[in-house]
Amino acid sequence: MTQRPKFALIKQHIIDNIQAAKWVENQRVPSENELAEQFSVSRMTARRALSELTEAGILTRSQGLGTFVASLKSQSSLLEIKNIADEVQARNGVYSCSVLSLESISAVAPIAIALGVEINSQVYRSVLVHNENEQPLQVEERFVNPALAIHYLQQDFNHVTPHEYLSQVAPLTEARHTVEAIMPTSEVCQWLSLYNEEPCLQVIRRTWSSEGIVSFARLISPGSKYRLGGHLTFKRH
> Is the model more confident about 59 or about 123?
123
Closest to 79 in 3D by CA, of 229, 234, 237: 229
Three-state DSSP state, 68 = strand
pLDDT digits (tens, 9 = 90+) for 61-101: 877 788 988 765 433 333 456 788 888 887 778 999 999 99
Q: What is this structure's pTM?
A: 0.63
User: What is the DSSP secondary-structure string of 114-182?
Assistant: HHT--TT-EEEEEEEEEEETTEEEEEEEEEE-GGG-TTGGG--TTTS-HHHHHHHHS---EEEEEEEEE
In a domain, 36, yes or no: yes
- Does 44 lie in the same domain as 124? no
Host domain of residue 116: 84-222
Instruction: Tell me: do 97 and 131 sit in the same domain.
Output: yes
Q: Is the confidence at residue 214, as pLDDT, over 60?
A: yes
Q: Give the residue from 183, 147, 184, 185 showing the smallest Cα distance to 166.
A: 147
Provide the pLDDT for residue 92: 75
Give the whole-number percent of the chain exceeding pLDDT 70: 88
Residues 203 and 146 in one domain: yes
- Average pLDDT score over residue span 168-194: 88
